[in-house]
Structure 1
Amino acid sequence: MKEESIIKSNVSIVLIGIGGYGDLYVSHLLDSSEASIVGVVDINPQKSKNYQTIIERQIPVFSSIETFYENWSADLAIISTPIHLHADQTCYALTHGSHVLCEKPMCTTVEDAERMIATRNASNKFLAIGFNWSFQPSIQALKHDIQNGLYGKPKRLKTIALWPRTGSYFERAPWAGRKYGNNGELIIDSVASNACAHYLHHMFYLLGATTEESAHLQQVTAELYRANPIENFDTCAVKTIIDEGVEVLYYATHAVPETFGPHFTFEFEHATISYTQEEGSNGVVAHFHDGNKKTYKDPRTEDPLHKLSICIEAAKSGKQVIYCGPEAAYAHTLCINSMHHSMPEIIHFPDTLIQHDQQKDLTWVEGLSETLMKCFEESRMPSEYQLDWAKEGKVITLSN
């Protein structure tokens, strides 16, 4: 991206999608002195908690991205729409003169990821992908120390997230928990691509060779399961091999009765770096083998919209580093695609193990929490134990 010759005093922003997560952007920007909302795009804008304020302030509302760009322009487009719309809307905004902050995940396929990169390159605009942690100062400090060899070579990284989700969670939108849309479009919304996507991407990002890169995947093996009446999986165990044979393990589920995590353990040559979201957490702590330790601030206590501040500054001056662009987010998209190739058919948990709590509107699997915790602690996959429901996925070998 070329540096701007003139520093803008106020950045114009179009918000594409203002329901759900997009509402956070609306709330923040309504009172911003650094940026102004010049338009919102949403097919159901009245569902936004801020809709009345938008109308009162006479902010133009559009039903499509095309109608906005017919007569309007914006320095920055923020895209907070369903996954399968990200690629087309990002490319459209880039080609119509806007920088883009696209919410995670980047898109559904690696082909779309490559199209987004090519469009970004041709547009001379920046493209940021909203994986919160990658923008946080604490994570940038940790990545800097890893890159500079403070902890030595990585040996194994692993993360677990047990996040219960109710039936209403899967009913909140027509794309939730879906593999395909009604018109056959690929959606692949899941615990790994959406709700807990940050923590899978995070491991790849930390081991990237540069500030704006993630590690390169060599192999992916996945086990995909579901308990809820959805099309895609609500539970997964994933083993990936990245550069220099480093193993990266990821365990996540919505089909449990109680929350745990995210919790991670990163093993390096000279230290073990750990984090837990549980009570009494001291943030991210590196325990050196010689007894010393180094602590980083808990990234979940930092401003979740720090990514927006970075993008506004970049749109103003052209000098800000975009920590998480498409090159950084690519590994996550590639991993999700490979997971579905590893296990094309989702395994349904045995009915005898599935529990329903009607009062809490929650479906969960008996013993699943304990099984995934054991997998995490022993760095193994469910299929490595004597479990009737577990099935080994195919090893997907990647190249180029």
Structure 2
Amino acid sequence: MTVRVVLAGAHGFGSHYLDRLRRMPGIELAGVCDVRPVAPELLDGLGEPEVSGDLPGLIKRTGAEIAILATPIPTHADLALAAFGAGAHVLVEKPTAATLRDFERMRAAADAAGLACQVGFQSLGSAAVPAIRELIASGAIGRVTGIGVAGSWPRPASYFTRSPWAGRRVLDGADVVDGALTNPFAHALATALAVAGADERGAVASVTAELFHANPIESDDTSAIRVHLSSGVPVVAAVTLCAATRDEPYVLVHGTKGRVRFTYTLDEVQVDDGPVRPFGRTDLLANLVEHVRSGAELLVPVHRTGAFMEVMEAIRLAPDPLPIDDAHQDLSGEGRVLPGIAAVVDTCADRLALFSELGVSWATPLTVSGAVVAEYTTVSDLPLEAAPRPFLHPVRTLGGVVVTEVRPADHPHHLGAGLAVTDLGGRNFWGGRTYVRDQGPTWLDDHGMQRHLSFPVREAAGFAERLVWERPGEQPLVREERTVRAAPLSRGWALDFAFTLHNLTDRPLTVRSSATKGRAGAGYGGFFWRAPAGSPGLRVFTASAEGEERVHGSRAPWLALAADDWTLVFAQDDDPWFVRVAEYPGVGTALAWDTPLEFGPVLARRVAVVVADGRLSREEAAGLVSELRP
């Protein structure tokens, strides 16, 4: 029995279907539907199919039983409905549709017409998928604790200009969602969900997405997401199109007794360090043809892509991807490369962690007018004696001048711009030596750390963060809610840094500085900014005073630290200023200037910083402070 098919979309990926049709007996290409002219050589060896731009008319005239849709993502739903209306079964290329609404339209139309709708996730035709599910069910690797996905491919710049919709989230008002996870690595995500037995609607509880672009595109080319399944199992997928070389993508199933690695492009499975076992694969077009002939079960019916579409919908609705600054890229080849990104992606799959949770600085950028002006590191490999904590670095002027410094030789525990306290509840959250009364700076085993928990909000202009302050092995002292945002000014830009500390103990907590223990003038502890050493022409001033001796310890509403090629203007109303110029360049707020600060349930503060190119005068600094939002 010969099955007649029509192909919508002969160019791009449609050419792969033409090649497959040449090799598949018992199938006749009756027609080709395309909005562009189809060169005769594209159809060599395929008879004389009718060519038309009218899909339903083509189906009806040719009597085609199957319509293959290899067209742009936004067209899938309408073309599928047109094919069902003309009486044809459908094989639609992945992803199923651009939106969850379109997916539901397709599913409902297929059910109403009593026709099959197979989705071209070719990896789901692998015999390895049911084999892995059986392996999991047998308990061979214990309880599943998570599933990781990793994929690293290079792409030339031309990949993102191959069509008008390439690299777009929206085109002419229509959702496209052509991102790394939703198109080239859509198989990776769909395969992970299938292996988990979580492929239908309702299987996804929540999605956290970290989307980035190194290329000048609208969509993402480097992404990490965490999908919490309704079963409680997390799926973390990390992929990039900015690798130096191609690595075969894989799904990594974590269990309490072992792990399974499925290299889905090769249909190879490995349990722990055991032998690699190859599996066969059924072609999804052949499977659909057999379904038409004999009623064979479909391998990827549309309803079994429901969970994938729930994730795709979350990505569609997520904030726009954040840019990765050129400073992190190798721009010497045909495509943009993020050096070391393959190892980062592998680590995400191995640890079930997002980019930001690995401490990758470009994973939390702040942007102003599309330019990356600061990067935020949440996790570092610092020793405990440095009081590990999140920090901003590098922070740049709009002209690109870096105005922060990390781990300088004079004070290796100084970390760009951030929040650090010398003594909170008897623990050192500043780093370095602790000042002991009548003894001086002393190395004590008293250091704590600020541990990043999550980003409730992450946008191009800033983020909201949740953290805990703790000493490893002890109960946390405080939970912090932090917000950091960037905004343009008439000259330069402004950083807004606010934090609220929630006391987690059953008693008031005390903040102390070295000054409260007897070291005169050492009232540091609070928001602190370490500026670059060696900056020429450094001076510090307020509206009414100038010089380190006069502004140190003052309660001026604003304070400026200026060099020949940059100026920082700090503004806040709560605490005295801590200032260093002669020893090193740094400005901070002093929560406990010379008296311990005790707080009960909550301690909250806000600081704003103007970041400008060039040296500002006193009048110019005051004018920019007036632009800061209340």
Matched-pair identity in %: 27
Matches of 2:134 and 2:457, distance apart in 1:
32
Matches of 1:371 and 1:192, distance apart in 2:
16
Quick check: 1:170 aligned with 2:151?
A: no
Q: Once the 2 structures are TM-superposed, how far is the Cα of residue 368 of structure 1 from its aligned partner?
A: 3.0
Matches of 1:199 and 1:140, distance apart in 2:
16
**Aligned mate of 1:233, from 220, 242, 256:** 220
In the alignment, residue 227 of structure 1 is paired with which amino acid?
A
Which residue does the alignment assign to 1:136? 126
Q: Once the 2 structures are TM-superposed, how far is the Cα of residue 141 of structure 1 from its aligned partner?
A: 2.7
Matches of 2:147 and 2:229, distance apart in 1:
10
Q: Which stretches in structure 1 are left out of the alignment for 5+ residues?
A: 1-8
- What pairs with 1:35-54 in structure 2 (closer than 5 Å)? 35-46=27-38, 50-54=42-46
- Normalized per residue, which structure has more strand? 2
User: Which secondary structure state, in structure 2, belongs to the residue aligned with residue 223 of structure 1?
Assistant: strand
**Structure 1 residues 146 and 377 mapped into 2: Cα distance closer, same or farther (>3 Å)?**
closer
Query: Residue deviations 1:4-32, cap 9 Å, x none?
Result: xxxxx111111111222222222232354
Quick check: 1:250 aligned with 2:237?
A: yes
Q: Which stretches in structure 2 are left out of the alignment for 5+ residues?
A: 365-453, 459-630
Matches of 1:267 and 1:162, distance apart in 2:
20
Q: TM-score, normalised by structure 1?
A: 0.84
Q: Once the 2 structures are TM-superposed, how far is the Cα of residue 34 of structure 1 from its aligned partner?
A: 1.5
Q: Which segment is superposed worse, 29-38 or 83-92?
A: 29-38
**Aligned mate of 2:195, from 206, 227, 232:** 206
Matches of 1:314 and 1:395, distance apart in 2:
46
**Structure 1 residues 150 and 309 mapped into 2: Cα distance closer, same or farther (>3 Å)?**
farther
Which residue does the alignment assign to 1:5? none
**Structure 1 residues 364 and 393 mapped into 2: Cα distance closer, same or farther (>3 Å)?**
farther
**Aligned mate of 1:22, from 1, 14, 36:** 14
User: Which secondary structure state, in structure 2, belongs to the residue aligned with residue 323 of structure 1?
Assistant: coil
Q: Once the 2 structures are TM-superposed, how far is the Cα of residue 115 of structure 1 from its aligned partner?
A: 0.8
User: Which secondary structure state, in structure 2, belongs to the residue aligned with residue 389 of structure 1?
Assistant: helix
**Structure 1 residues 335 and 395 mapped into 2: Cα distance closer, same or farther (>3 Å)?**
farther
Which residue does the alignment assign to 2:255? 268
Q: Once the 2 structures are TM-superposed, how far is the Cα of residue 328 of structure 1 from its aligned partner?
A: 1.5
Which residue does the alignment assign to 1:356? 331
Query: Residue deviations 1:29-49, cap 9 Å, x none?
Result: 235432111111112243585
- What pairs with 1:215-234 in structure 2 (closer than 5 Å)? 216-234=203-221
- The 8 Å contact of residues 65 and 88 in structure 2, kept in 1 or not, is answered as yes
Q: TM-score, normalised by structure 2?
A: 0.55
User: Which secondary structure state, in structure 1, belongs to the residue aligned with residue 224 of structure 2?
Assistant: strand
In the alignment, residue 285 of structure 1 is paired with which amino acid?
Q
**Structure 1 residues 120 and 157 mapped into 2: Cα distance closer, same or farther (>3 Å)?**
same
Which residue does the alignment assign to 1:317? 294
User: Which secondary structure state, in structure 1, belongs to the residue aligned with residue 336 of structure 2?
Assistant: strand
Which residue does the alignment assign to 2:182? 193
- What pairs with 1:1-400 in structure 2 (closer than 5 Å)? 9-46=1-38, 50-54=42-46, 57-69=47-59, 71-147=61-137, 151-181=141-171, 183-208=172-197, 213=200, 216-276=203-263, 283-287=268-272, 296-298=277-279, 302=280, 306-318=283-295, 320-342=296-318, 344-357=319-332, 360-391=333-364, 394=456
Matches of 1:261 and 1:215, distance apart in 2:
30
- Normalized per residue, which structure has more helix? 1
- The 8 Å contact of residues 331 and 337 in structure 2, kept in 1 or not, is answered as yes
- The 8 Å contact of residues 123 and 264 in structure 2, kept in 1 or not, is answered as no
In the alignment, residue 321 of structure 2 is paired with which amino acid?
I
Q: How many residues align?
A: 369
In the alignment, residue 28 of structure 2 is paired with which amino acid?
S
Query: Residue deviations 1:304-340, cap 9 Å, x none?
Result: x61111111001112x111211221111121122124
Matches of 1:377 and 1:92, distance apart in 2:
44
Higher relative contact order (CA 8 A, sep 6+): 1
Matches of 2:182 and 2:361, distance apart in 1:
26
**Structure 1 residues 33 and 381 mapped into 2: Cα distance closer, same or farther (>3 Å)?**
closer
- The 8 Å contact of residues 146 and 352 in structure 2, kept in 1 or not, is answered as no
User: Which secondary structure state, in structure 1, belongs to the residue aligned with residue 154 of structure 2?
Assistant: coil
- The 8 Å contact of residues 177 and 190 in structure 1, kept in 2 or not, is answered as yes
Matches of 1:147 and 1:120, distance apart in 2:
32
- The 8 Å contact of residues 182 and 312 in structure 2, kept in 1 or not, is answered as yes
Q: Which segment is superposed worse, 160-169 or 257-266?
A: 257-266
What's the Cα RMSD here? Answer: 2.7
Query: Residue deviations 1:223-251, cap 9 Å, x none?
Result: 00001111101000111110321010100
In the alignment, residue 190 of structure 1 is paired with which amino acid?
G
Q: Once the 2 structures are TM-superposed, how far is the Cα of residue 149 of structure 1 from its aligned partner?
A: 5.4
User: Which secondary structure state, in structure 1, belongs to the residue aligned with residue 123 of structure 2?
Assistant: helix
Q: Once the 2 structures are TM-superposed, how far is the Cα of residue 213 of structure 1 from its aligned partner?
A: 4.5
- The 8 Å contact of residues 206 and 214 in structure 1, kept in 2 or not, is answered as no
Matches of 1:165 and 1:328, distance apart in 2:
30
